[in-house]
Chains A and B, each alone.
Chain A
Amino acid sequence: SFSREAQLFVEKFEGALGKGKGKKFYAYKVMMTKKWMKFQRDFENFKTACIPWEMKIKEIESHFGSSVASYFIFLRWMYGINMILFGLTFGLVMVPEALMGKPYGSLPRKTVPRAEEASAMNFATLWDFSGFAQYSVLFYGYYNNQRTIGWLRFRMPLSYFLVGVGTIGYSFMIVIRTMARNANEEGGGDDTSFNFSWKMFTSWDYLSGNPETADNKFASITTSFKEAIVEEQESRKEENIHLTRFLRVLANFLALCTLAGSGYLIFFVVRRSQKFALEGLENYGWWERNEVNMVMSLLGMFCPTLFDVISSLENYHPRIALRWQLGRIFALFLGNLYTFIIALMDEINLKASYLPPFIIFNMHMGQEEDFQPLEEEKIVKYNMTIWEASLYNGTIPENSTAPPIQVDPADVPRGPCWETMVGQEFVRLTVSDTMTTYITILIGDFLRAVFVRFFNYCWCWDLEYGFPSYSEFDISGNVLGLIFNQGMIWMGSFYAPCLPAINVFRLHTSMYLQCWAVMCCNVPQERVFKASRSNNFYMAMLLFILFLSTLPAVYTIVSIPPSFDCGPFSGKTRMFEVISETLEHDFPSWFGKVFGYASNPGLILPFILLMVLSIYYLNATSKSYKEANLELKKKLQSVRNREL
């Protein structure tokens, strides 16, 4: 037949149907195009495969819904940020000092004091981050204040300062950038006209032949059906407006009462503990000694449950209810913290026999009274001159040309190093927080699941449906834990460069442990709901915490003199003087002049005004774009309806 002949002809001359002369070239071009497309497809697959933990998170999403998965996606994002922070502190601060700085034992600040030497290598000391761990690159106190070190003439104090400021700046930038990007996506919107039908008819991917993938796909289809049903129900709920409003006002009132009550309780307990301390702690038992810690932990455990009960009055969409819950728990933690600090501010005793971790906040706010380390420093300096004099046997000639007596650095008396102490407190807090989280998961989730599963046979009531049953994944608790933990890291990484490294390790293990625990011990919630597409609510809280965490560090850089005896800024009156020192020594003189002019208030105020005006302008234009967007969407919708 004719078509048969045509087909044979096309097959025979396939390659040459391009330009006559370039037959081979044409075939080559076609082959290269095919190869290039294949390469692009493979590269896309490779890039997707490189995203860590993607399969794990997809599995969790298909079984537990997008809201639980959003926590893990948040965790992964935090891990990325911490990797960058780790890279900065490790590469620019810890490694140069370790490689090019003076080695251990050469300076007093780099050596374990004689008195502590015996116990310096014990595991208990190391776990507490004293001993050898304290006198190492892990903490602020080890660093020397030499302006340049090594043959590279690496400016260590400048690098330390810039890395400290840079980590904060980078964190701000990345959080705001992510918020902006999420805001864009949110505006995109969904074509939801055939939501359910599409889920029904087009959700099965025929290429998935693996039975395990198929299982996941079944679970995810079920979950997405349930999510869509919940959305539909919520949007159709008939509300008795007045009753709902009254109940919501009542619920908020109850929540406020709870917050006020917990604040008062903490105030009361802290006062009591100071009374105990004055009378001598030996007269009291374990409860009185640890009252403050216990009360704060118990409040942290029970108040969120109370908030949960209160929120059932409000009858919100589950996503909105989650946000209220998060907001209230956040307010609870912050309120408790500040009440604690205020109660302590009247009588701070740094040399108390036990030092609750939050006491460091007070160090940065204790400007009303004399800053205690300064007093201590004066005393130590005085002692040191006396000690030096004793070395010369009491004779200190005015113009002494005698060679300095060699003293082992371990024997030199040390000044107080409050920065290292602060760093140690943060590290201990992070470690104990991690331990607590892991133990809670193992006991609260895993052992509980084991108990319910195996004791169900020989128990009077049905353990699986009644109390205690399997636990659900606590989204709000975990998200807040993550955010507060990150706040601790931001606060402490200036004083302990090792903190981002510890956090990277913690997040890495946390991801694996929690993924396993969720799949193994938890059950999905009754009403799975679709998480909002952007994580902007979490981001907003994170931004707030970031702002709060950087306040103490900025305050210490600007207002508090660094310790005279330890750290890269020892000997200066303020930490930021390292900048002016660098400008003097390393830059040509005209640069210093320009900088001096630029920091003139007459120039800075107009600049700030300009920025405020541009923010206003950009806000106005973005509003008008949004409105134009809505108009277009409406037009599209009406065109589509007309087609029907």
Chain B
Amino acid sequence: TGEAEAARAAMGGSASLLPREALGEYQELTFLGKQEILLAYKRFSELLPKEERENACSARVPKSQILTLPELRANPFQHRICRVFSTSDDGDDSISFEDFLDMLSVFSDSATSDIKSHYAFRIFDFDDDGTLDRKDLEKLVNCLTGQGQESRLSNAEMEQLIQNILEESDIDKDGTINLSEFQHVVSRSPDFARYSVLQL
């Protein structure tokens, strides 16, 4: 059909193609535009072995493959991102195409700040218990200061830092930060919307 030809031409002549109805659906369900979805499809199918490229829409890419993407390679939260967006039942954090689109949609330019902060909260919640407690914050700081020994903060500095953060953000003083407190803090930051953008 004409549309299939067009879709194939848009992807530069690769063998797989994205059905037109699916393209329309994805446009409705996510914040991404048509070109962005097609580009995502192309990049996703490149991560699959050749045999599976035909039905890329239903294939799952293991975590190790996703982490080879240059956009995610240097990101300190790469593992958490995979965990949060993966809908795999096996718990192996494998990513399907729809998960991938989900991720790109949340990190796109046009996503609202609410959505971004919601997902950022889930990414930072290392133990998945719905709140950011001291351990989560400690792991967060260690992620941010890199892997080197010299760049880690000492225990005293860590204590001081977490103390200050809880003082600033924990409004109900229960020792943890819940979603609404997090969104309250983060929505006022001038940098948040600018920095939480991923583009292929």
Give the interface of A toward B (CB within 8 A). Answer: 3-4, 7, 193-198, 200-211, 213-215, 218-219, 221-222, 225-226, 228-229, 232-233, 644
Contact call A218/B198, Cβ cutoff below 8 A: no
State the CA gap A211–B146 with chains docked (Å): 11
Known contacts A196-B165, A201-B120, A218-B151, A206 near B75 by CB under 8 Å: yes
Say which residue of B74, B120, B192, B195 sits within 8 Å of A209 (CB atoms). B74
Known contacts A196-B168, A201-B124, A229-B157, A206 near B197 by CB under 8 Å: yes
Nearest first, the 9 closest Cβ-Cβ pairs linking A and B are A218-B146, A214-B74, A196-B164, A202-B192, A202-B189, A222-B145, A205-B195, A197-B169, A222-B151
State the CA gap A208–B194 with chains docked (Å): 12
Interface 0/1 of B129-145, CB less than 8 Å to A: 00000000100110011
Query: CB of B175 within 8 A of chain A?
Result: no
* Chain A residues closer than 8 Å to B140, beta-carbon distance: 200
Query: CB of B28 within 8 A of chain A?
Result: yes
Known contacts A4-B24, A203-B195, A195 near B157 by CB under 8 Å: no
Could you tell me the distance in whole angstroms from the C-beta of B157 to the nearest C-beta in chain A? 6
Query: CB of B51 within 8 A of chain A?
Result: no
* Chain A residues closer than 8 Å to B197, beta-carbon distance: 206-207
* Chain B residues closer than 8 Å to A232, beta-carbon distance: 160, 164
State the CA gap A194–B157 with chains docked (Å): 18
* Chain A residues closer than 8 Å to B145, beta-carbon distance: 218, 221-222, 225
- Inter-chain pairs besides A206-B71, A222-B145, 17 sampled, C-beta below 8 Å: A194-B169, A195-B168, A196-B168, A198-B189, A200-B137, A201-B182, A201-B192, A202-B186, A204-B144, A204-B195, A206-B196, A206-B197, A218-B146, A225-B161, A228-B164, A229-B160, A232-B160
State the CA gap A198–B124 with chains docked (Å): 13
* Residue of A211, A222, A228 with highest tally of chain B CB at under 10 A: A222
Contact call B144/A221, Cβ cutoff below 8 A: yes
Q: Which of chain A's residues has its CB closest to B188's CB?
A: A194
A-B contact pairs, 30 of them (CB 8 A): A194-B189, A195-B168, A196-B165, A197-B168, A200-B140, A200-B144, A200-B165, A201-B186, A201-B189, A202-B195, A204-B75, A204-B77, A206-B75, A207-B199, A208-B74, A209-B70, A209-B73, A213-B74, A214-B74, A215-B146, A218-B145, A219-B151, A221-B144, A222-B144, A222-B151, A222-B152, A225-B145, A225-B153, A229-B164, A233-B160
Query: CB of B31 within 8 A of chain A?
Result: no
Could you tell me the distance in whole angstroms from the C-beta of A164 to the nearest C-beta in chain B? 48
Contact call A203/B191, Cβ cutoff below 8 A: yes
* Chain B residues closer than 8 Å to A218, beta-carbon distance: 76, 144-146, 148, 151
Contact call A202/B191, Cβ cutoff below 8 A: yes
Could you tell me the distance in whole angstroms from the C-beta of B132 to the nearest C-beta in chain A? 9
* Chain B residues closer than 8 Å to A210, beta-carbon distance: 74
* Chain A residues closer than 8 Å to B72, beta-carbon distance: 209
Query: CB of B6 within 8 A of chain A?
Result: no
Query: CB of B44 within 8 A of chain A?
Result: no
Query: CB of B107 within 8 A of chain A?
Result: yes
* Chain A residues closer than 8 Å to B161, beta-carbon distance: 196, 200, 225, 229
Query: CB of B185 within 8 A of chain A?
Result: yes
State the CA gap A226–B152 with chains docked (Å): 10
Query: CB of B18 within 8 A of chain A?
Result: no
Give the interface of B toward A (CB within 8 A). Answer: 24, 28, 70-77, 107, 120, 124, 137, 140-141, 144-146, 148, 151-153, 157, 160-161, 164-165, 168-169, 171, 182, 185-186, 188-189, 191-192, 194-199
State the CA gap A537–B184 with chains docked (Å): 38
State the CA gap A198–B185 with chains docked (Å): 8
Say which residue of A7, A198, A200, A207 sits within 8 Å of B24 (CB atoms). A7
Known contacts A203-B144, A215-B146, A229-B157, A209 near B124 by CB under 8 Å: no
Could you tell me the distance in whole angstroms from the C-beta of A122 to the nearest C-beta in chain B? 52
Say which residue of A194, A214, A225 sits within 8 Å of B168 (CB atoms). A194
Could you tell me the distance in whole angstroms from the C-beta of B197 to the nearest C-beta in chain A? 6
Q: Which of chain B's residues has its CB closest to A3's CB?
A: B28
State the CA gap A321–B182 with chains docked (Å): 37
Q: Which of chain B's residues has its CB closest to A200's CB?
A: B165
State the CA gap A233–B186 with chains docked (Å): 24
State the CA gap A194–B182 with chains docked (Å): 11
* Chain A residues closer than 8 Å to B157, beta-carbon distance: 225-226, 229
* Chain A residues closer than 8 Å to B74, beta-carbon distance: 208-211, 213-214
State the CA gap A206–B195 with chains docked (Å): 6
State the CA gap A77–B165 with chains docked (Å): 37
State the CA gap A219–B151 with chains docked (Å): 7
Q: Which of chain A's residues has its CB closest to B140's CB?
A: A200
* Chain B residues closer than 8 Å to A201, beta-carbon distance: 120, 124, 182, 185-186, 189, 192
* Chain B residues closer than 8 Å to A228, beta-carbon distance: 164
State the CA gap A494–B77 with chains docked (Å): 60
State the CA gap A7–B34 with chains docked (Å): 12
* Residue of B24, B182, B194, B195 with highest tally of chain A CB at under 10 A: B195
* Chain B residues closer than 8 Å to A233, beta-carbon distance: 160
* Chain B residues closer than 8 Å to A222, beta-carbon distance: 144-146, 151-153
Could you tell me the distance in whole angstroms from the C-beta of B159 to the nearest C-beta in chain A? 10
State the CA gap A544–B188 with chains docked (Å): 43
State the CA gap A256–B52 with chains docked (Å): 81
State the CA gap A314–B143 with chains docked (Å): 37
State the CA gap A221–B199 with chains docked (Å): 23
* Chain A residues closer than 8 Å to B153, beta-carbon distance: 222, 225-226
State the CA gap A228–B188 with chains docked (Å): 19
* Chain A residues closer than 8 Å to B168, beta-carbon distance: 193-197
State the CA gap A233–B161 with chains docked (Å): 11
State the CA gap A111–B71 with chains docked (Å): 68
Could you tell me the distance in whole angstroms from the C-beta of A486 to the nearest C-beta in chain B? 36
Contact call A207/B120, Cβ cutoff below 8 A: no
Contact call A204/B71, Cβ cutoff below 8 A: no
Could you tell me the distance in whole angstroms from the C-beta of B112 to the nearest C-beta in chain A? 16
Could you tell me the distance in whole angstroms from the C-beta of A218 to the nearest C-beta in chain B? 3
Q: Which of chain A's residues has its CB closest to B196's CB?
A: A206
* Residue of B74, B124, B145 with highest tally of chain A CB at under 10 A: B74
State the CA gap A209–B171 with chains docked (Å): 35
Contact call A644/B24, Cβ cutoff below 8 A: no
Contact call B185/A197, Cβ cutoff below 8 A: yes
Q: Which of chain A's residues has its CB closest to B81's CB?
A: A206
State the CA gap A644–B172 with chains docked (Å): 11
Could you tell me the distance in whole angstroms from the C-beta of B52 to the nearest C-beta in chain A? 26
* Chain B residues closer than 8 Å to A7, beta-carbon distance: 24
Contact call A644/B144, Cβ cutoff below 8 A: no
State the CA gap A114–B24 with chains docked (Å): 93
State the CA gap A225–B152 with chains docked (Å): 11
* Chain A residues closer than 8 Å to B191, beta-carbon distance: 198, 202-203
* Chain B residues closer than 8 Å to A221, beta-carbon distance: 144-145
Could you tell me the distance in whole angstroms from the C-beta of B41 to the nearest C-beta in chain A? 19
State the CA gap A644–B189 with chains docked (Å): 16
* Chain A residues closer than 8 Å to B198, beta-carbon distance: 206-207
Contact call B192/A206, Cβ cutoff below 8 A: no
State the CA gap A419–B24 with chains docked (Å): 83
* Chain A residues closer than 8 Å to B107, beta-carbon distance: 206
* Chain A residues closer than 8 Å to B76, beta-carbon distance: 204, 214, 218
* Chain B residues closer than 8 Å to A209, beta-carbon distance: 70-75
